[in-house]
């Protein structure tokens, strides 16, 4: 009796290396049907922003090429996954469907309904851990609740059973050769046309699995010893550049952790320090996803509900537009916002500075910034983006007992003392063409603190 085909459903795991769902489909025996579904229609699924769509297009091209080299075709479907997956199973006669788990509430609901429906039809369904080192339900406080502070969370992760070793990519795939419906990627219209604003993206990035592994190798070989000391300096190329590759699953966190631990083994001094710091950054990525798992509305609702009392003034559209365009008259802020528009990314230290300026100096609700980043970041991630904006707003998961306000001028002096980063992104800086600041930093800081007092009083009254 012939073995039925199996479907591997790619999602946030656009890779061949360390892909448990793909390996399970191969192990099942019979032809492998590889599919990616662009689902922006299911209830609660957040449509991708423009920058993310650019990356997705390029990553799917890379994945399709990699699968073809091993003997498989990548099928494409656009629409609700609950319609496309069962239809593909029926069309191919597949007896099994495999995928790697997602952790957003809407995505989990889609997956659960699909799993129930397909199993009712006699189809084997299995899902796997591939996106996080520790799944959210495996790390909890002594009371069984999610952690709300990073340090004890990361301590618990380190005390937990160690993450599994990464699994090598297959050497060949018995790909499905029958006829099955598939979309043309170009017809999805993920790339910009008029105007084509992605020129800077193409200069800055090479999406795909091969690039991700090359970046990791180069980082561990050349940058690890300076990472801890220089990671906050935006004018230096001291970071790994892996953020979008991790976001789209072109490289797994298991692979990154394994290779970094290998580099740390036997290392001393700055190299060992850099490896430890880099692994801790993986921990922050984990923490954000665990917080989102416990608070699915993180992108729209204050994690600290007392911040619902924050007295946001009416939206100043002109100020928001100046911030978006990098024309605030605050050099480090404008440099960051222009880097974002040109490359689809921004140095992490500068992300904190521009976010603080929007929220604390312009007194613009953090949700406007979160939405702008969602549309303009190539690494826009449902957990990290919302988590980081709420952290800067002081409404999120944060151990700090105070209302954090970054002074952009002091931040620039500390982390870009010679103005290298600013000059890279704001060529008219230090000329008469550069605008005056749109706000007074000292006055707006006082206004932000006064607004925070409203939150403090409201919390005291509720307690």
Kindly list the structural domains of the chain, giving each domain's residue range(s) and its CATH number in brackets, ordered by start: 1-131 (3.40.50.620), 132-166+209-294 (1.25.40.80), 305-456 (1.10.579.10)
Rounded distance, CA 283 to CA 178, Å?
43
Q: Which of 374, 389, 391, 425 is catalytic?
A: 389
Residue 452: which of 353, 312, 347, 254 has the closest Cα?
312
Rounded distance, CA 62 to CA 165, Å?
25
3-state SS of the chain: helix, strand, coil percent to 5? 55, 5, 40
| Ramachandran region, residue 81 (left: φ > 0; alpha: ψ -120 to 50; beta: rest) | alpha
Residue 462 is predicted with a pLDDT of 77
Residue 254: which of 135, 156, 104, 150 has the closest Cα?
135
Is 409 one of the catalytic residues?
no
What does each C-alpha distance from 460 to 262, 310, 425, 448 come to in angstroms? 50, 14, 44, 19
Question: Cis omega before residue 440 (within 30°)?
Answer: no
Rounded distance, CA 376 to CA 354, Å?
14
Residue 57 is predicted with a pLDDT of 98
Sheet (strand 74-78) strand order: 74-78, 32-38, 6-10, 96-100, 124-128
Name the 3-class secondary structure at 175: strand
The H or E element that residue 218 is part of is: helix 209-222
User: pLDDT tens per residue, the chain (463 residues)?
Assistant: 568 999 999 999 999 999 999 999 999 999 999 999 999 999 999 999 999 999 999 999 999 999 999 999 999 999 999 999 999 999 999 999 999 999 999 999 999 999 999 999 999 999 999 999 999 999 999 999 999 999 999 999 999 999 999 999 999 999 999 989 999 999 999 999 889 999 999 999 999 999 999 999 999 999 999 999 999 999 999 999 999 999 999 999 999 999 999 999 988 999 999 999 999 999 999 999 999 999 999 999 999 999 999 999 999 999 999 999 999 999 999 999 999 999 999 999 999 999 999 999 999 999 999 999 999 999 999 999 999 999 999 999 976 767 889 999 999 999 999 999 999 999 999 999 999 999 999 999 999 999 999 999 887 877 6
DSSP class of residue 203 equals H
Q: How many CB atoms lie within 10 A of CB 435?
A: 12
Q: What is the end-to-end Cα distance of the chain in Å, rounded? A: 68
Is 348 one of the catalytic residues?
yes
Q: Assess contact for 251 and 234: CB atoms under 8 A.
A: no
Which phi and psi angles does 287 have, rounded to 5°? -60, -45
Burial 385-395 (b: 16+ CB within 10 A, else e): bbbbbbbbbbb
Burial of 144 (0-12, 13-18, 19+ CB in 10 A): exposed
Residue 460 is predicted with a pLDDT of 82
Q: How many CB atoms lie within 10 A of CB 48?
A: 17
Q: Which of 281, 316, 407, 409 is catalytic?
A: 281
Name the 3-class secondary structure at 228: helix
Is 176 one of the catalytic residues?
no
Q: Which of 284, 407, 409, 429 is catalytic?
A: 284
Q: Which of 188, 230, 306, 348 is catalytic?
A: 348
Residue 398 is predicted with a pLDDT of 78
Rounded distance, CA 67 to CA 273, Å?
38
CA-based diameter of the chain, in Å? 80
Residue 461 is predicted with a pLDDT of 79
Q: Which of 312, 420, 428, 430 is catalytic?
A: 312
Rounded distance, CA 8 to CA 67, Å?
12
Q: Assess contact for 232 and 349: CB atoms under 8 A.
A: yes
Rounded distance, CA 44 to CA 42, Å?
6
Which phi and psi angles does 414 have, rounded to 5°? -80, -45
- Cα Rg of the chain (Å, integer): 23
- pTM, two decimal places: 0.97
Locate the DSSP E strands across 6-163: 6-10, 32-38, 74-78, 96-100, 124-128
Is 54 one of the catalytic residues?
no
Rounded distance, CA 191 to CA 461, Å?
51
DSSP class of residue 307 equals G
The tokens of 262 are what?
């290998």
Is 137 one of the catalytic residues?
no
Is 281 one of the catalytic residues?
yes
Residue 348 is predicted with a pLDDT of 96
Rounded distance, CA 372 to CA 380, Å?
10
């Amino acid at each position: 009796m012939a073995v039925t085909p199996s479907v591997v459903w790619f999602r946030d795991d656009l890779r061949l290396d360390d892909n448990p769902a793909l390996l399970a489909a191969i192990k099942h025996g019979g032809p492998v049907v590889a599919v990616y579904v662009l689902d922006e229609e299911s209830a609660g699924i957040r449509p991708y922003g423009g920058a993310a769509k650019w990356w997705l297009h390029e990553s799917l091209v890379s994945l399709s090429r990699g699968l073809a080299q091993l003997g498989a075709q990548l099928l494409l479907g656009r629409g609700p996954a609950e319609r496309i997956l069962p239809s593909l199973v029926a069309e191919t006669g597949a007896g099994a469907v495999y995928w790697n788990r997602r952790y957003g509430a809407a995505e989990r609901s889609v997956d659960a309904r699909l799993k129930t429906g397909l199993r009712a039809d006699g189809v084997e369904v299995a899902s796997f851990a591939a996106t996080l080192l520790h799944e959210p339900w495996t790390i909890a406080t002594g009371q069984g609740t999610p952690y709300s502070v990073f340090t004890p969370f990361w301590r618990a992760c380190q005390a937990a059973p160690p993450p599994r070793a990464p699994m090598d990519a297959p050497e060949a795939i018995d790909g499905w050769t029958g006829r099955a419906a598939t979309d043309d990627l170009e017809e999805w219209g993920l790339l910009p046309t008029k105007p084509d604003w992605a020129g800077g993206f193409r200069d800055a990035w090479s999406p795909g699995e091969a690039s991700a592994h090359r970046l990791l190798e180069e980082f561990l070989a050349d940058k690890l010893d300076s990472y801890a000391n220089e990671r906050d300096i935006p004018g230096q190329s001291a970071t790994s550049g892996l953020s979008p590759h991790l976001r789209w699953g072109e490289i797994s966190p298991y692979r990154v952790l394994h290779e970094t631990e290998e580099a740390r083994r036997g290392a001393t001094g700055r190299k060992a320090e850099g490896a430890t710091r880099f692994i801790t950054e993986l921990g922050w990525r984990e923490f954000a996803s665990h917080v989102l798992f416990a608070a699915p509305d993180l992108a729209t609702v204050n994690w600290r509900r007392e911040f619902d009392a924050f007295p946001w003034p009416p939206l100043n559209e002109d100020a928001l537009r100046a911030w978006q365009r990098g024309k605030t008259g605050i050099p480090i802020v404008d440099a960051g916002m222009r880097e974002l528009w040109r490359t689809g990314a921004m140095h992490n230290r500068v992300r904190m500075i521009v976010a603080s300026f929007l929220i604390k100096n312009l007194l613009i609700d953090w949700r406007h910034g979160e939405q702008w980043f969602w549309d303009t970041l190539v690494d826009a991630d449902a957990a990290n983006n919302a988590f980081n904006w709420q952290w800067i707003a002081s409404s999120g998961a944060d151990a700090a007992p105070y209302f954090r306000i970054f002074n952009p001028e002091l931040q620039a002096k500390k982390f870009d003392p010679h103005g290298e980063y600013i000059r890279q992104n704001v060529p008219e800086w230090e000329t008469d063409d550069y605008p005056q600041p749109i706000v007074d930093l000292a006055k707006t800081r006082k206004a932000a603190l006064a607004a925070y007092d409203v939150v403090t009083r409201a919390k005291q009254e509720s307690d």
